[in-house]
Amino acid sequence: MSDVKEKTGAVLRETAVLTGAVAIIAVSVFFFLVPSHTSVSSISGLGIVLSNFVPLPLSVITMILNVVLLIIGFFTCGREFGAKTVYTSVLLPVFLGLFEKLFPEFGSMTGSQELDVLCYILVVSIGLSILFNRNASSGGLDIVAKIMNKYLHMELGKAMSLSGMCVALSAALVYDKKTVVLSILGTYFNGIVLDHFIFDNSIKRRVCIITEKEEALRQFILHDLHSGATMYEAIGAYNLEKHNEIITIVDKSEYQKLMNFINREDPKAFVTIYNVASMQYQPKI
């Protein structure tokens, strides 16, 4: 019975996170992307262009485009990704339709096309990074980017930029040169910002330390950080003294705790730090 409650609670928490992320994306599309009239790296951007030719609301066009790409994503990226993306793909047009009803005559919030694009990039990247880190997407071009990430091993931001360029160029069919340029630049910078949000959450640091407080540091890493460490014998080139170098891999919060400990216990410790974008299991030996 407790297992059922735990699973139900986990599903509800995951659903709440996905819903919040989609709400953030919908806000960015409706309040910033639509008023800017640009087509920045999203299926909603293509929908904005198509709405000039097809007599359907943006929410309906977005739904149709999402369904087509969703079927492709379900069979190429796995059931978990597909199931979550089904939910988010359906939810995004629902949010857009709700905003269309609540704010039928909504204009630009900033009064500037450039600021609208900038705000869209910043806000949508938050929502997209949450979804990608949860093995989900908002549908549309996110599915294309996920497929490119899986099969071509491209970073998600670069995949979003590449797939979004075709959509950005579609703005040339409807809007002036300035809007087309903004769409292309917005798509490029959206990929950069998205990569920043994604990798900033997942990046780890490889910390190499030589210290006089070797045993205290080892105990701190094992029992306070609950992390693993590896020790190597290091010989100084100047006087050939032997020391033990302790190497550990930590996340952002653990890194702060580790550096606070070193600065407090041995400010003269020799420390080198490397960013690690991906890693395999680190055994506690």
Q: Residue 200: pLDDT band by 50, 70, 90 thresholds?
A: low
Q: Number of C-alpha atoms within 13 angstroms, CB side, residue 81?
A: 22
Task: Return the percent helix, strand and coil in the chain, to nearest 5.
Answer: 65, 10, 25
**pLDDT for the residue numbered 154:** 75
* Sheet with strand 242-250: strands edge to edge: 230-235, 242-250, 204-210, 270-276
Q: Which helix (H) or strand (E) holds 207?
A: strand 204-210
Structure tokens at 2: 């407790």
Rounded distance, CA 49 to CA 112, Å? 19
Q: What are phi and psi of 254, to 5 degrees?
A: -65, -35
Query: Alpha-carbon torsion 246, 251, 256, 261, what sign?
Result: negative
Q: Is 103 helix (H, G, I), strand (E, B) or coil?
A: coil
Q: Residue 45: pLDDT band by 50, 70, 90 thresholds?
A: low
205 φψ region: left (φ > 0), alpha (ψ -120 to 50), beta (else):
beta
Structure tokens at 227: 């992390």
pLDDT tens figures, 113-168 = 888 888 888 888 888 888 877 777 776 777 777 788 777 777 766 777 777 777 77
